[in-house]
Structure 1
Amino acid sequence: MSHFSYQDGVLCAENTPLAQIAQQFGSPTYIYSKAALVENFSAYADACKQHGRNDETALVCYSVKSNSNLAVLNLLGKLGSGFDIVSGGELLRVLAAGGSPRKVIFSGVGKSREEMQLALSHDILCFNVESIPELHRLNAVATEMGKKAAVSLRVNPNVDAKTHPYISTGLKDNKFGIAYEDTLTTYRVAAALPNIEVVGIDCHIGSQLLDDAPLLEAVDKLIELIDTLDAEGIHLHHLDIGGGIGINYDNDQPVAVGDYLARLFAKIDAWRKQKHGGAPIKVLFEPGRSIVGNAGILLTEVQYIKHGETKNFAIVDAAMNDLMRPAMYEAWHGVLPVQQRDSAVATYDVVGPVCESGDWLARSRELAIEEGDLLAIMSAGAYGMTMSSNYNTRGRAAEVMVDGDKVHLIRKREAASDLFALESLLP
């Protein structure tokens, strides 16, 4: 079901009219549905249970970079989620939200010594290591701290995710992971390091995948590697298949999470039965967009209607600094008027006030709107607020969480004074 829908011609979040939220909190504002977040996470958790997995054999690690608000992290942590992080700052967010460090996996190609020290001091579950130099640095840091670092190696399986090139991460020319043909050598290096404990294997081939065929192809390659490593005496405890399942932005038809996991578990179970006597291997997931993407919208107000010679513009108070995806990826987001009108429809580019021609949120949309109307930019829960900036000295948007007929402010709107509070004048 959609948790953002029209009721008597007024767009609502769950049971709350968006106009009421705008009146209380202003605009632009990110609005999330608690029910949608719970439903989307449960799609993963329930599928794991249906296929005989428990906490010891499956772990859903929410990708913090997709939406890192503390309220979102806290909610998912209470539902049993682990967390996939890519920075020390994200680890601190998870801890501040009450998340367990023993359910944290640390991904990313450029981990600093300080980030490694922070993660080791909190005894996180695992580092996803992406290069031999990183292995040596992590071993050195762990040695200095008198600890052992649990690692999985992120393998680049050279599988085409068939998605936007900026969010494709599993091909040979991507910066991520260890080349498939170098995997065995790298595992040998890892196994020989005294303060490294090899525990798993990881891959993540891209984002916004509508078809699970590339993911299952990557799993086949990982299975082959696990068997090769087993023969070498390097025994892995978990298989991390990353995230990447897409959402509906523009009549997209993403694979259902339950269907994908059913095929995945069938493949893994058949392999373990044939080659390993049925012994289980723990399976980790790193979903982000598929949990939060359609659980959030960006609410914005039309400031001006501008009729140009070749185009009409709806100039709104949200901008590329609030939602970067259209400018960066030419991403498509649905646009809905909060109040449905019977007036004439016109074609508009929905643009913001930032001083860039690239500052647009939607192009060529058929809308019946007037100045002062509210618009909802749909499917904005993932990579919206986390990619926002203060360009043009614009304060970042407020964030609210809707829970039925209750609305909670989960991040205050930034004031201009907040933006230069850390700056100093010359003496």
Structure 2
Amino acid sequence: MTDKNLIKIAEEFGTPTYVYDAESIKNHYEKLTSSFHKSTRFFYAAKALTNINILKYIKNLGAGLDCVSINEVKLGLKAGFTHNNILFTPNCVDLLEIEEAMKLKVHINIDNISILEQFGTKYGNTYPIFVRINPHIYAGGNHKISTGHIDSKFGISIHQLRHITRVMKSTNLLIEGLHMHTGSEIKDPEVFIQGLEIMFELAEHFPDLKYIDMGSGFKVPYQEGDIETDVKTLGKKVEKVLAEYHKESGIKFELWFEPGKYLVSTSGHFLVKSNVIKQTTATVFVGINSGFNHLIRPMFYDSHHIIDNLSNPKGAERIYTVVGNICETDTFAWDRKLNEVRENDILVFRNAGAYGFEMSSNFNSRLKPAEVLFLDGKAHLIRRREEFDDLLKNQIEVL
């Protein structure tokens, strides 16, 4: 997909609009499948982007689905994923939501002793489960998205192994999978190897183990010079470690990963319009027709998105601070070099496929943007832009 395609999409569908390039998703998925042994499976982390068309496309590529809410499970089933290709990994939910997932016959991953005990007491070995382990590995590019450290709410601590085995033996639990996820933006393949070795140490305590799920966290580059997770090197290292373990123990496990951002991030382009150029005594602001209600990552995670001026790609470079139209501080970029921006120019935020639309809101009673899928050389509207009536559709007037 070219910038000319993006300009045409902005002209046809307006702005703000999220655009996803199907070819990019396919390329990233095939890069993973070609880097790992054919027995390794990949479950797309739906929370990155759940548009039903994206789910269907990724399902057709051959991936499974990783879900963190019961509604993601239902979306996955509606998109055509079979129940045995869905893993449900909730956090801080009650037993009722776990039981709802049981009725849908998907794989279930439990991440705390309380629910593990309730589940085992009620169901024993009648429904096989996964257990999510907190490996106490600090990894990832931002503390807010690091999930495997000692202070994380996710998973059962490796130091609570005896509690897990106590529940397993006393309730006859059938544990067929172990899971861990240490965070996002992991640059060093050795983090995964360290985690895998921890899993091997734990495995001897679970006689019915079939699956080891290493989560994900593959880093994608957000700006020039960024390091990307070397999945080819990781694939070779993982295959070597698995082969050594099999030789020593005689045991083979099916290995799973859960890429989310890695598959969809670079596919996404967020199109906006410059509303106003505002010069102050210290700064030149580009005020756009969006805000953190549409793309919260820069304010929430201090994330960097490359911004390009599609309308004036050869204009002289100038320094701007790019801000939104929300009645809060919503700065996308401070002192950023851009080709000269004029009012009504179309700008694009790159790498906006993951956690962009998915984390959007109606803050300030502003409407959510449209979504477009660029597939086989054509732009397809896959979510209409909200209209005013959408703000009222679930409200009940009593006055």
- TM-score (normalised: structure 2): 0.95
Corresponding residue to 2:176 among 190, 199, 202: 199
The 3-state SS of whatever aligns with 1:302 is strand
Q: In 2, are the aligned partners of 1:63 and 1:84 still within 8 Å (CA)?
A: yes
Alignment of 1:74 onto 2:56: yes
- Distance in 1, matches of 2:315 and 2:256, equals 51
- What's the offset of the Cα at 1:136? 2.7
- Distance in 2, matches of 1:190 and 1:288, equals 31
* Structure 1 match to 2:45: 63
Amino acid of the structure 1 residue aligned with 2:231: V
Corresponding residue to 1:239 among 204, 212, 221: 212
* Structure 2 match to 1:8: none
Offset from partner CA, 1:201-220 (integer Å, 9 cap, x none)? 11000001122222221111
* Structure 2 match to 1:178: 156
- Distance in 2, matches of 1:265 and 1:188, equals 32
Alignment of 1:190 onto 2:190: no
Q: Which moved more, 1:282-291 or 1:336-345?
A: 336-345
Alignment of 1:254 onto 2:228: yes
- What's the offset of the Cα at 1:313? 0.7
Alignment of 1:135 onto 2:124: no
Corresponding residue to 2:358 among 369, 386, 397: 386
- What's the offset of the Cα at 1:138? 3.0
The 3-state SS of whatever aligns with 1:74 is helix
- Change in Cα spacing, 1:159 to 1:341, as seen in structure 2 (3 Å) is closer
- What's the offset of the Cα at 1:141? 6.1
* Structure 1 match to 2:391: 419
- Distance in 1, matches of 2:241 and 2:380, equals 43
Q: In 2, are the aligned partners of 1:129 and 1:152 still within 8 Å (CA)?
A: yes
The number of aligned residues is 397
- Change in Cα spacing, 1:137 to 1:413, as seen in structure 2 (3 Å) is farther
Offset from partner CA, 1:31-70 (integer Å, 9 cap, x none)? 000101111111222233xx3x34xxx3211100011111
Matches within 5 A, 1:78-157: 78-124=60-106, 126-139=107-120, 142=123, 148-157=126-135
- Distance in 1, matches of 2:95 and 2:159, equals 28
The 3-state SS of whatever aligns with 1:396 is coil
Amino acid of the structure 2 residue aligned with 1:405: G
- Change in Cα spacing, 1:182 to 1:341, as seen in structure 2 (3 Å) is closer
Corresponding residue to 1:219 among 192, 196, 216: 196
- Distance in 2, matches of 1:389 and 1:93, equals 20
Amino acid of the structure 1 residue aligned with 2:312: Q
- Distance in 2, matches of 1:39 and 1:317, equals 32
* Structure 1 match to 2:31: 43
The 3-state SS of whatever aligns with 2:42 is strand
- What's the offset of the Cα at 1:253? 1.4
The 3-state SS of whatever aligns with 1:152 is strand
Amino acid of the structure 1 residue aligned with 2:214: I
- Distance in 2, matches of 1:272 and 1:30, equals 45
Q: In 2, are the aligned partners of 1:321 and 1:388 still within 8 Å (CA)?
A: yes
Q: Percent identity?
A: 28
Alignment of 1:360 onto 2:360: no
Q: In 2, are the aligned partners of 1:116 and 1:141 still within 8 Å (CA)?
A: no
Could you tell me which runs of 5 or more consecutive residues in structure 2 were left unpaired when the two chains were aligned.
none
**RMSD of the alignment, in Å?**
1.7
Matches within 5 A, 1:342-357: 342-357=314-329
- Distance in 1, matches of 2:169 and 2:30, equals 36
Could you tell me which runs of 5 or more consecutive residues in structure 1 were left unpaired when the two chains were aligned.
6-10
Amino acid of the structure 2 residue aligned with 1:210: K
Matches within 5 A, 1:272-421: 272-276=246-250, 279-357=251-329, 359-367=330-338, 368-421=340-393
- What's the offset of the Cα at 1:149? 2.7
Q: In 2, are the aligned partners of 1:339 and 1:373 still within 8 Å (CA)?
A: yes
- Distance in 1, matches of 2:123 and 2:332, equals 46
Q: In 1, are the aligned partners of 2:140 and 2:184 still within 8 Å (CA)?
A: no
- Distance in 2, matches of 1:255 and 1:324, equals 24
